[in-house]
Structure 1
Amino acid sequence: MTRIIAGRAGSLALDVPGTGTRPTSDRVRESIVGALEAAGAVTGAAVLDLYAGSGALGLECLSRGAASVDLVEKAPRAAAVAGRNAERVGAALGGPTPRVHRAAADTFLRGTSLRFDLVFLDPPYDLGDAELAATLTLVGEVLSADADVVIERATRSGEPSLPAGLAMDRSRRYGDTTVWWARTRA
């Protein structure tokens, strides 16, 4: 069962799409969001969760004090699940419902005028390096001046190529998955 781990909506159960997604485990999500929270990157942040699936990463941040969350998911069934989860978490927090955008990541990034302090990318493992690099270039155009970008990929994929303006901060391996943290740089 997937759930919100901590914060004001802690222990709230989340639905997970039946097929076509690879949910981030509670252990990995706790490690990622806990590290970001300890660094002061969550409270008050505008969060973007690309390839959102159930929306668990972004919604975990909302539970821990993020100012806003935008979930982007192109698969209709997964976007519907993310929408239900967003409504559930929004209601539990007594605030606005996080926005769910049923769109491809690149389409959303090209069309938004919003700026984000924290961006999660958890693309399908079969997304090629060139496609990820193109998406990261678009991500760079929607970041605030002091932003964090978290990329979750198959360990076998290797370190992602970052566009100008982003610098690799660190990485951590969780079995077949590696998480890379990047930050904006002047």
Structure 2
Amino acid sequence: MSRIIAGVAGGAGLANVPGDKTRPTTDRVKEALFSRLDSYGVLAGARVLDLFAGSGALGVESASRGAAEVDLVEQSDKAAGVCRKNAELVNKALRRTVVRVHRSGVQPFLDRLHPHDRWDLVLMDPPYPLPEAELAQVLDTLAPRLAEGAVVVIERSSRSPEPRWPAGLERFAEKKYGETMLWYAEPAPPAS
């Protein structure tokens, strides 16, 4: 069973998406990821976007650890329902609505956003079969919507190629955990 590791709702069990269409991030990977994000100082008061949210475990972990706003974006009805349960759990612990769920495909969600919307942290755990060209399109749309000092984390199979980073976004770290690879990127400094 997946759980929230730390923060206001630390230790609470999370609902999981039934079946094998999603792969929950292991507690080991989640602990390492959030330890790194804590060291970057990116979580406190952050505006977080969890794309391809699955159960929403990464987004609700962010809320439990001090993010100000978290948007979970999930296309599957079943998974979005699980996201709503997990969002409700964390919102109740926080005594306010921090986590919102959007039942939508990722690209249509990004295309509908207000041009001034910006995020401090973007967590992406796309399905392994997602074509690299689709992931590249999402990153291209996302790049201009990042706040200064933002961090983007992509979780993929360690057998997947490195994402194609668009202009305006560059990788600054990567870490392999068995079958899981985490890629970290940030807004690229403007060309001089």
Residues 63 and 98 in structure 2, CA contact (< 8 A), matched pair in contact too: no
1:20-67: CA deviation from partner (whole Å, max 9, x where unpaired): 111111110111111101110111110000000110101101111111
Structure 1: state its 5+ residue gaps: none
Alignment correspondent of 1:73: 74
| Percent of pairs with identical residues | 49
Cα offsets for 1:127-162 (capped at 9, x unmatched)? 111111011111113211221000011111121110
Q: Which residues in structure 2 correspond to 1:31-110 (within 5 Å)? A: 31-110=32-111
Q: Give the alignment of 1:120-131 within 5 angstroms.
A: 120-131=123-134
**Cα RMSD after superposing both structures:** 0.9
Residue 143 of structure 2 is matched in structure 1 by 140
Is residue 91–residue 97 contact of structure 1 (8 Å, CA) maintained in 2? no
Give unpaired runs (5+ residues) of structure 2: none
1:173 paired with 2:179, answer no
Q: Does structure 1 retain, via aligned residues, the 8 Å contact 2:80–2:102?
A: yes
* Displaced runs of 4 or more, over 2 A: none
- Contact 1:152-1:180 within 8 A present in 2 as well: yes
What's the counterpart of residue 17 of structure 1?
Answer: 17
Q: TM-score, normalised by structure 1?
A: 0.97
Kept after mapping to 2: 8 A contact 1:55/1:82:
yes
Rounded Cα–Cα distance in structure 2 between residues aligned with 1:141 and 1:50: 16
Report the more deviating stretch, 132-141 or 77-86.
132-141
8 Å contact from structure 2 (residues 168, 187) kept in 1: yes
User: What are the superposed Cα offsets for residues 87-122 of structure 1, whole Å, 9 maximum, x if unpaired?
Assistant: 111001112141100000101111112311100110
Q: So what's the TM-score if we normalise by structure 2? A: 0.94
Aligned partner of 1:146: which letter? G
Q: Distance in 2 between matches of 1:166 and 1:97?
A: 27
Distance 1:177 1:16 in 2: 19
What is the deviation of 1:18? 0.3
What secondary structure does 2:66 align onto? coil
Give the distance between the partners of 1:107 and 1:144, measured in 2 at CA. Answer: 21
Contact 2:156 2:181 in 1 (8 A): yes
Matched residue count: 186
